[in-house]
A and B are shown apart, each in its own frame.
Chain A
Amino acid sequence: QKEVEQNSGPLSVPEGAIASLNCTYSDRVSQSFFWYRQYSGKSPELIMSIYSNGDKEDGRFTAQLNKASQYVSLLIRDSQPSDSATYLCAVGDWNQFYFGTGTSLTVIP
């Protein structure tokens, strides 16, 4: 059984701080990695995708991938109250995706 693990939180950060979300996965053949944001009562929304080792930046978001250590992280700079949501890590192989159970983030004004 392939596993994707995330710290369920809740993670609380003050407004303007950096939020760091982490995810580990069990399958070394995983090829694609994604972060989704899910507001309460809403569906998941794609934030970032990353396919190769290193950092990928998009605005205030940076995804980091380390395949050797089998972890992927998401950094949110200058956190805003609107970033308060559950963040889902998804890992894909050639066949399907596996989702973590999510980390709840609260940004305190």
Chain B
Amino acid sequence: KAGVTQTPRYLIKTRGQQVTLSCSPISGHRSVSWYQQTPGQGLQFLFEYFSETQRNKGNFPGRFSGRQFSNSRSEMNVSTLELGDSALYLCASSLDRRERELFFGEGSRLTVL
């Protein structure tokens, strides 16, 4: 059974650019969550999608957005990148909103120069 797949794994951008990250959840999992991980802040919740709808959103500016497709795959977008956006972005899937065990992908490491 394939795990959570995130692409790209590594990327380098410059300030002001935008980036789109992709996440394919475990087959059958319908809930996808996104987290930002930095050494100082730990894992910070970005948003959760279920049935193509954003169910919850963390305390991040509107530059961070996402969406989920009918096949449960999800994308997140960060516009007008800032240096502080450099982080590991982790996607996690779970069976549904009641089954709360999260399974993480390997992450997308974003460096903003």
Contact = CB atoms under 8 A, between A and B. Distances in A.
A36 to B, nearest CB: 8
A96 interface: yes
A43 B105 contact: yes
Interface residues of B, number: 18
Interface residues of A, dominant DSSP: strand
Given A42-B106, A43-B90, A43-B107, A92 B100 contact: yes
Contacts, number: 42
B113 interface: no
A104 B83 CA distance: 27
Interface in A11-68: 32, 34, 36, 42-46, 49
B64 interface: no
B48 A96 contact: yes
Nearest to B41: A101
A101 B42 contact: yes
Contacts of A44: 43, 90, 104
13 contacts: A34-B100, A36-B104, A42-B106, A43-B90, A43-B104, A43-B105, A43-B106, A44-B43, A46-B103, A49-B101, A92-B100, A97-B45, A101-B41
